[in-house]
Amino acid sequence: MKPRFNIISLTSCTGCISTLISLDIFPQFLERIKINYFLFILDSDDIEECEIALVEGCISEETQINLIRKIRKRAKRVFALGTCACFGGILSLSNSKKAEPLSNHIEIDGMIPGCPPPSKFFGNCLINLVGNKDIILSEKNMCANCPLRGSIEINSHIKITKINPNPEEIRLGEENSECFLNNGILCLGPITRDGCEHKCIKMGLPCEGCMGPVSKDFTSNVVNFLSLIELSQELQKYTGIYNRFSKPKINR
């Protein structure tokens, strides 16, 4: 029997679902599963029972809490799809809106992080799900395999003054030979999970952390990391560094 899937969007830009539909393997994926609920391509009325629920987006409204509990009840396995569902995501930058990950309200069986999840990694995750396997995440950080790691030097003499290089300083791929931190540019590679094949770094931009932390909570990891280096006064006032993908976990 083909595994039945429910694919659901909560509060999001729908970038993860758009990426899913654009994957080269999407047609084969569709052939090997049965879609029960996926409003992007099917006019479904209700969330029926399924083997796998893939949920994109964060929880930002009270009504979504009941919805996510219903999704959990009707699925054998639930996976958080994308940074918003895994950690809260970009809405965490809002002062007025909540942005909670699924795991604040239900037990999840795994996650497919990324903003959006990188195509190769995403495709491999889908193959695992169709084969009833778990999703395996790297236990290494982004620096472990970074092409610029040869020059990394984390110490308190490093003064970070920018979150991005100036446009004229952006160098693609191998032209960029030095770790961003050495040039005073904040790169969250040391606390971010490997798995995106260094997408931003190869485009000449530092890692912002969208694959999430290798361990524990994103914000506490950022705080610990920043205590090892010196941030300019201007950046010290920018709370977006801490809240870009996740707000500190609320104790219930």
Q: Using CB under 6 A, list all residues that contact ligand SF4.
A: 142-143, 146, 148-149, 152, 179-181, 187, 189-190, 192, 196, 198-201, 206-211
Contacts of 204 (CB under 8 A, 6+ apart): 165, 170, 171, 172, 173, 175, 176
In the complex, minimum distance from the CB of residue 183 to ligand SF4, in angstroms, rounded to a whole number = 9
In the complex, minimum distance from the CB of residue 42 to ligand SF4, in angstroms, rounded to a whole number = 30
Please say which residue, 105 or 199, places its beta carbon nearer to ligand SF4. 199
Please say which residue, 90 or 143, places its beta carbon nearer to ligand SF4. 143
Q: What is the spatial distance between Cα 122 and Cα 143, in angstroms, rounded to a whole number?
A: 21
The residue behind tokens 């870009």 is: 244
Whether the link from the prior residue into 116 is cis, omega within 30° of 0, is yes
* Count of residues making up the chain: 252
Cβ atoms 58, 28 nearer than 8 A:
no
Please say which residue, 63 or 166, places its beta carbon nearer to ligand SF4. 166
In the complex, minimum distance from the CB of residue 64 to ligand SF4, in angstroms, rounded to a whole number = 25
DSSP string, 158-175: -EE-BSS--GGG---GGG
Please say which residue, 37 or 180, places its beta carbon nearer to ligand SF4. 180
The residue behind tokens 């707000």 is: 247
In the complex, minimum distance from the CB of residue 204 to ligand SF4, in angstroms, rounded to a whole number = 11
In the complex, minimum distance from the CB of residue 142 to ligand SF4, in angstroms, rounded to a whole number = 4
Residue sitting closest to ligand SF4 (CB): 189
